[in-house]
Structure 1
Amino acid sequence: MEKFTTLTGIAAPMPLVNIDTDMIIPKQFLKTIKRSGLGVNLFDELRYDRDGREIPDFVLNQPAWRNAQILIAGDNFGCGSSREHAPWALLDFGIRCVISTSFADIFFNNCFKNGILPVVLPQDAVDALMKDARKGANARQTVDLEAQTVTASDGRSWSFEIDPFRKHCLLNGLDDIGLTMEKAALIDRYEMQMAQARPWV
């Protein structure tokens, strides 16, 4: 998993509330178990018409936000079914951070396991960042995980809370497998001891 330390990038404004996982990645794209290739179908029903043509008004289809790495969203982002494909699709598109006033629990947890930082901020902060994001590609925002701050393009900054263990994992790029591999030496020693103590197993 890629480390998350400090991210400075374009922020896309998506003020919709209750953006569920089916909106993030519709069910017909859940057949794959690969984490790559889903970005093209991120927000598929909002991005494309029935003929597969881009809908010009959708924020991620507009030139200013095509390369967004931060998403400023409305309340209760990631609600709905518990598909891990949702953070996979966001990450494959290039989104490394989602900022909202609230997240659905399962989606929130899945973000950390896939290298995405979900930031919870109060409504006034999200409103200010949303307004800043509407300025377009020249208004870059900075998310500093070590300092636990989000800074708008005009220099205004807000602090956010994060669980210390999750912060450690993101800063060091540790998913569940990575956490296990940190104990590789202990695991190897245990297996050697068991092989000697129980050679028949």
Structure 2
Amino acid sequence: MQLDRRRFCTLLSLVPLMALSRWSIAEPREVAMETLYITKPDGGVPNSPLPVLIYHHVIAPEAVDNADYLEHLFTTNGWPPQWRYGVYPFTHFHSNTPEALGVFAGSAKLQLGGEKGNIIQVNVGDVLLLPAGVGHKQVSADENFMMVGAYPPNVTADLCHDDVAKLAIRTKAVAKVPLPETDPVTGHSEGSMLLWRQASDNSKK
């Protein structure tokens, strides 16, 4: 199933990516962003009323070390990076935290939302911002594929499998996860965070 692009948008304003890497400073640049709504549960995956945010071309062309660049960016914007790895080849999600995934090498196809979910391709420079509860797994990848994973401060992500028997309790847990204070890519409390706040408010009406 292809990515639903009905919610596609492009941020034409300059996004100040001012993260300092060891070798270069990122200049403010235009960053394209897609939104993907996966609101309905799939099996034991609760998913979320908040949209998945997919940023493109986040890494500056002059960056010498892609992983280092993303780690500095996430750290500067209040999302401490916790690992460098790929994505597990089974459907899983986190019921206690959103997750930022930055591709620093290779490319892969990921399935979002559960076993019946959307399959998208991610490439170097893409960053996925996944709300708590959204299922994800790696369908295929080239041998170089690697990501940086980051979370809001003082969070250790749980690992939840697609378990229908636990859907109700995990849906309640996801609903209690607080919204992050900043965006891992822009560092702002505005922009994409507004999309999450608006979606959160609408889900409570």
**TM-score exceeds 0.5:** no
| Structure (1/2) with the larger strand percentage | 2
Return the TM-score normalized by structure 2: 0.28
In our comparison, the structure showing a higher alpha carbon Rg is 1
| Structure (1/2) with the larger helix percentage | 1
Return the TM-score normalized by structure 1: 0.28
